[in-house]
Copies of this chain bind each other. A is one copy, B any other.
């Protein structure tokens, strides 16, 4: 026996470095050298773990979306009432502000889809988790009587996720005509319109 295998740890360190570097400078001009430098290694070392930048970015995409969804689901799970859950889900789903670099990156990854099957799959998985989160809250609310949603649940969920995506995109794209507060209020208003009693 000899030097132990630490591939797993290194790989996740590199994914972390990729997320940070991509959040900072965007995907457009990101290079292997940038990520390696951020990780405190050389390009050669990075290539020892990943075939190329694309392979690393797929992992970063996966890690980013999972972290986002896991975090939100855990926040929601700690709350009791559907109304609280809905408020928390909305808040956790929106970026913290125009400078939320990680959230910006997640939407930037969407454009790697359509060019890569792997990114395609990740985008779809993210979408499924987003819809699952809101759908569960809606169903629980309807079941407990907290909500009285008369509209089609599938469509209501779709629209809720769509609002979240659009407002998030506008905020991180620097459209100053849309603020986080406005987005949250607009989403809550929509929820009210379809039958969620969030203020009670």
Contact = CB atoms under 8 A, between A and B. Distances in A.
A124 B177 contact: yes
Interface string A120-154: 10011001100000000000000000000001100
B172 A114 contact: yes
Range of interface residues on chain A? 35 or more
Judged by DSSP, the binding face of A is helix
Contact of A169 (B158, B169, B186): B169
A31 interface: no
Contact of A173 (B114, B161, B178): B114
Given A166-B162, A189-B151, A190-B159, A173 B110 contact: yes
Interface string A159-200: 101111111011011111110001001100110011000000
A190 B162 CA distance: 12
A30 to B, nearest CB: 10
Given A162-B166, A182-B158, A113 B189 contact: no
